[in-house]
Amino acid sequence: MSTGNMNLTLKVWRQKNSKDQGRLVDYKVSDISPDMSFLEMFDVLNEQLISKGEEPIVFDHDCREGICGMCSMFINGRPHGPKQGITTCQLHMRSFKDGDTIVVEPWRAQAFPVIKDLSVDRSSFDRIIAAGGFISVNTGSAQDANNIPIPKQDADAAFEAAACIGCGACVATCKNASAMLFVSAKISQLAHLPQGQPERYRRVQSMVAQMDAEGFGNCTNTGACEAECPKGISLENIALMNRDYYSAKFLKEEEIH
Amino acid sequence: MSNSGKAFSSSIGKKLVMGITGLFLILYLIIHCFLNSLIFVNDGGLTFNEGAHFMATNWLIRAMEVVLFLGFIVHIVQSARLTIENRAARPVKYAYNDGNANSKWYSRSMGLLGTILLIFLIVHLSNFWVVSRFTGIPTTDANGHDDLYAVMKLTFQNVWIVILYVLAMVSLAYHLLHGFPSAFQTMGWNHKKYTPIIKKVGFWYSIIIPLIFALMPIAVYAGLI
């Protein structure tokens, strides 16, 4: 951990468009405050590039407070960098040392094509949600307390699954580029609540089918996704998705789908 | 039941096939390990040959042998298929990927460990299975049974065979360390109370079974048997 300002070498992935081959380019940044976030350091670098007349580095970001799921940098071999339970925007330069070399790459997956530089197209996630990650009827405004009794454990499990921000770190770190942690969180948040029951078994089948169609890999239970998830989504969700999928395919009558 | 044909070609279905065949092979290893441990009975292999004779002549065991081969073939072919798909899911590799930061090396190396085991399996089958089923065991023991014990003792005089077997058992240990708990997760059995038990049982299973197997060639080569 550093306290004084630091000088760093960055190796950043530059890629003109989805067709371009892309390559790592070296950049030097100096006098970086340890209190800067990683994205603020990139802002400084981009200012430098603009003043030199070079094209700035494209990277995704929005809320910069760890809840939107937009930022997506693969930093020194890990999604969202070296710390656990945070997104790239919450990563601060005090996590690095003066003189460090930092490699920054985009998420890499067949289903996440690079748009430009560090920005990837994650609309495959949107298509998976559109395939069934919703409740079809209007559930109305918030119910009166205890109007629909829900056991606390179920409410907690649903809330924990709902913490998923869809950033794609699970896919990025998975050796198979599998999206199962994301998909299982989106299934689980509804499977634990009464409003999610009517479409529960239709949902798991259509979302898994869409996930497969998007070209994500298959889960091999290495657990890397759970370890790197900024929101701590648990592998228990994948087990629940598997159970629901088997129930749907092997136990339910055809009419239910 | 609906669309269950398609179920096995989905990502979750393919995992299920790996899990079921894996658990089946795990069960088989217990039987195999128990029977082979009979070589440690100090009677010049009579008990071991008795066991081998039973396995070779019992119709139920012979029927299960076919299922066992199917289990191996499906497990191997499916894993090859999954590996190809999973590689295709990331066509451009990372320049730098710190895998050790978030997962165990053996969890990420199941394909490599499995390939070592496949090579071992081919050598192992040609050492014993082919001999006892096809080319014939030359001698018989005092009870008149085929002397598989003598074949084993002769095989393990070759130091390279011993090294291959021990190496394969180290690979098996790591393959099981991941595979045992992973199979339960794939079946959807992730439970606050039972998963820690599964992990503990899986850990000791993965150490003990390969260790007993590895001691067999070592003991023979060292002249202890």
pLDDT digits 0-9 by tens, B71-115 = 999 999 999 999 999 999 999 999 999 999 999 999 999 999 999
What is the band of B3 on the pLDDT scale with cuts at 50, 70, 90? low
Q: Could you tell me the residue range of the domain that residue A43 belongs to? A: 6-110
Q: A95 at the B interface (CB within 8 A)?
A: no
ipTM score assigned to the predicted complex: 0.93
Backbone CA torsion sign across B38, B43, B48, B51:
negative
> Which CATH code for domain B11-92+104-221?
1.20.1300.10
Partners of residue A218 in chain B, C-beta under 8 Å: 11, 14-15, 82, 85-86
- Tell me: do A130 and A246 sit in the same domain: yes
The predicted structure's pLDDT at residue A55: 97
- In a mutational test of the B interface, the residue from A114, A174, A183, A249 whose CB has the highest number of chain B CBs within 10 Å is A249
Mean residue pLDDT of chain A comes to 95
The domain boundary, picked from A110, A132, A162, lies at A110
Cα–Cα distance for residue pair B34/B194, rounded to 1 Å: 26
Distance CA A227, CA A189 (A): 20
How far away is chain B from the Cα of A144, in angstroms, using its nearest Cα? 32
Q: Locate B202 and state its tokens.
A: 């899986």
Please report whether residue A77 resides in a domain: yes
Q: Which of B96, B174, B187, B189 to mutate to test the interface with A (most CBs of A within 10 A)?
A: B96
Number of domains comprising chain A: 2
Q: Are residues A106 and A135 in the same domain?
A: no
Check if A97 contacts B (Cβ < 8 Å). Answer: no
> Do residues A127 and A42 share a domain?
no
Least confident of A30-44, A105-119, A134-148, B138-152: A134-148
Best mutation target among B102, B109, B182, B194 (most A Cβ atoms within 10 Å) is B102
CA distance B102 to chain A (A): 5
Q: What is the pLDDT of residue B1?
A: 43
Domain boundaries, chain B: 11-92+104-221
Cα B138 from Cα B135, distance rounded (Å):
9
* Pairs of CB atoms within 8 A across A/B: 150
Is B103 part of the contact surface with chain A (CB cutoff 8 Å)? yes
Percent of chain A residues past pLDDT 90, beyond the cut: 91
Q: What percent of chain B has pLDDT over 90?
A: 92
Confidence of residue A252 (pLDDT cuts 50, 70, 90): confident
Query: In which element (H, E) is residue B108 found?
Result: helix B105-108
Between A82, A105, A218, which is nearest B85 by CB? A218
pLDDT tens, residue by residue, B7-58: 899 999 999 999 999 999 999 999 999 999 999 999 999 999 999 999 999 9
Contact criterion met (CB below 8 Å) for A77 and B98: yes
What CATH number has the domain bearing residue A101? 3.10.20.30
Residue A140: the pLDDT is 82
Model pLDDT for residues B148-160, shown as the tens digit of each residue:
999 999 999 999 9
**Does A228 touch chain B if contact means CB atoms closer than 8 Å?**
yes
Determine, for residues A218 and B108 on separate chains, whether the beta-carbon distance falls below 8 Å: no
Question: Are the Cβ atoms of A222 and B89 closer than 8 angstroms?
Answer: no
Q: Is residue A115 included in any domain, yes or no?
A: no
> Chain B neighbours among A 111-150 (CB < 8 Å)?
111
In the predicted structure, residue B175 carries a pLDDT above the cut 80: yes
Which residues, 6+ apart, have CB-to-CB distance to A14 below 8 Å?
A: A22, A23, A24, A25, A57, A117
Please, are residues B128 and B146 in contact by the beta-carbon 8 Å criterion? no
Residue A116 lies in a domain: no
Please, are residues A34 and A4 in contact by the beta-carbon 8 Å criterion?
yes
